[in-house]
Amino acid sequence: MFYRLIYEQWVNSWTPLNIFQYITFRAAAAAVTSMFICLFCGPWVIKRLTELRVRQGQHSGVRAEAMGEHHKSKVGTPTMGGVLIVTAMLVSTLLWARWDTRIVWLAMGGTFILGIIGFVDDYLKLAMGGSTGAHPKVKLTGQVLVGAVVAMVLLFGEEDGVNYSQLALPFFKDAYFSLGLGFLLLSILVVVGTSNAVNLTDGLDGLAIGCISVTGAAYTALSYVVGRTDYTDYLNLVYIPGAGELTVFCAALCGASLGFLWYNAYPAALFMGDTGSLALGGALALVAILVKQELSILLLGGVFVLEALSVVLQVASFQLTGKRIFRVAPFHHHLERLGWSEPKIVIRIWIIAIVLAVIGLSTVKIR
């Protein structure tokens, strides 16, 4: 909005307004804006959620056998803080991004819908007073529809010269595979997998939101690169028209995540709930799809993949052999059972997230 109101309307009157044409400036402004929205509105949101008794239930977000005295102390902490994060990032994106870019609207729309799904799930958990929210099939259907609609718009919508049905392989130069309508299935898998993986990771104070900010920063850089022909030509990447504006979206996501971390850091005063985890996980997945780097999420969001994999392996092992691989899944609760303190687990997993993000970005150059 600021781009249209300020740059397009007044630039001829005052040349310093030229700064609004630069994506880097607007991305930085979006990050600061969303962060300050979270910082300034956080206390009010916490107060209102407390008054409305929107609080963490005894079994919400933590498996019963994983709960010790430490986790029981978290019962009563306000949840559904994802409303604050999603609102801050979407408002900031609307303020600083150009409105004539289709893929920005796809990213915002998909994030908003997944946030609504998470909100309904959180609300039902609170209303029923337990750990059962929306039926898993309902949540899965919503996630599938988001992935499918985005894929269909990219495949059959407005022509922008990009062959979205092609899949690029990391590490290999000119390694592209034509998926055809298989791109529809790939998009669904990326959205469903990532949003649920982030949801599984959200079990310790600051853990998920810290990793989200790291992955979001990586996608901020990647979006900027694929939105410039000089960089894509040099790095042999697919140029995506308008992808530069996703830099603003990703920066807003990072800023909102850091602002929320102020209140979610140990000991947390506010939890994001499924409202935040499903929306933010979906946002990362949608950016990966929109910049044609679908497989990059395996490294850039490696922590989420590892957490989800620990659950899959635990369930598979128990069903096949009757034995568990981990004391408790997801993996971060296993570390708690080993005696690691919560802050130590969170900080060390943040370090892993940073390392994986750096490795993931390095694959761009290796190609």
Confidence of residue 274 (pLDDT cuts 50, 70, 90): very high
Query: Is the confidence at residue 44, as pLDDT, over 90?
Result: yes
Picking from 48, 85, 4, 36, the residue whose alpha carbon sits closest to that of residue 276 is 85
Confidence of residue 53 (pLDDT cuts 50, 70, 90): confident
Q: What is the pLDDT of residue 126?
A: 82
- 111-160 per-position pLDDT tens digit: 999 999 999 999 888 877 656 677 788 899 999 999 999 999 998 877 67
Q: What is the pLDDT of residue 63?
A: 47
| Distance between CA atoms of residues 118 and 142, nearest Å | 10
Confidence of residue 61 (pLDDT cuts 50, 70, 90): very low
Answer yes or no: are the C-beta atoms of 191 and 286 closer than 8 Å. yes
Q: What is the pLDDT of residue 52?
A: 82
Q: What is the pLDDT of residue 349?
A: 96
Answer yes or no: are the C-beta atoms of 344 and 287 closer than 8 Å. no
Give backbone dihedrals phi and psi of 176, rounded to 5 degrees, phi first. Answer: -125, 140
Residue 214: both structure tokens together? 């790291």
Which range of 258-262, 321-325, 329-333 scores highest in mean pLDDT? It is 258-262
Sign (positive or negative) of CA dihedral 52, 56, 58, 61 = positive
Q: What is the mean pLDDT of residues 289-294?
A: 93
- 9-37 per-position pLDDT tens digit: 555 554 555 676 789 999 999 999 999 99
Query: Is the confidence at residue 94, as pLDDT, over 80?
Result: yes
- 71-93 per-position pLDDT tens digit: 666 777 898 999 999 999 999 99
| Distance between CA atoms of residues 190 and 282, nearest Å | 8
Structural domain total, the chain: 1
Q: What is the pLDDT of residue 250?
A: 97
Q: What is the mean pLDDT of residues 215-230?
A: 94
Q: What is the pLDDT of residue 165?
A: 86
Answer yes or no: are the C-beta atoms of 317 and 175 closer than 8 Å. no
Name residues whose C-beta falls within 8 Å of residue 112's C-beta, 6 or more positions apart in sequence: 86, 90, 279
Query: Is the confidence at residue 64, as pLDDT, over 60?
Result: no
Query: Is the confidence at residue 277, as pLDDT, over 90?
Result: yes
Query: Is the confidence at residue 176, as pLDDT, over 90?
Result: no
Domain with 24, as residue range(s), is 2-366
Share of the chain above pLDDT 70, in %: 86
- 312-321 per-position pLDDT tens digit: 999 999 998 9
Q: What is the pLDDT of residue 57?
A: 61
Residue 159: both structure tokens together? 């022509």
Q: β-strand 176-178 against 166-168: which pairing, if any?
A: antiparallel
Residue 239's region, left for phi above 0, alpha for psi from -120 to 50, else beta, is beta
Query: Is the confidence at residue 62, as pLDDT, over 70?
Result: no
Confidence of residue 59 (pLDDT cuts 50, 70, 90): very low
**pTM for the complete prediction?**
0.91
Q: Annotate 333-350 with DSSP letters as a single string.
A: HHHHHTT--HHHHHHHHH
The number of C-alpha atoms within 13 Å of 357 and in the hemisphere containing its C-beta is 23
Query: Is the confidence at residue 183, as pLDDT, over 80?
Result: yes
| Burial of 202 from C-beta contacts in 10 A (0-12 / 13-18 / 19+) | buried
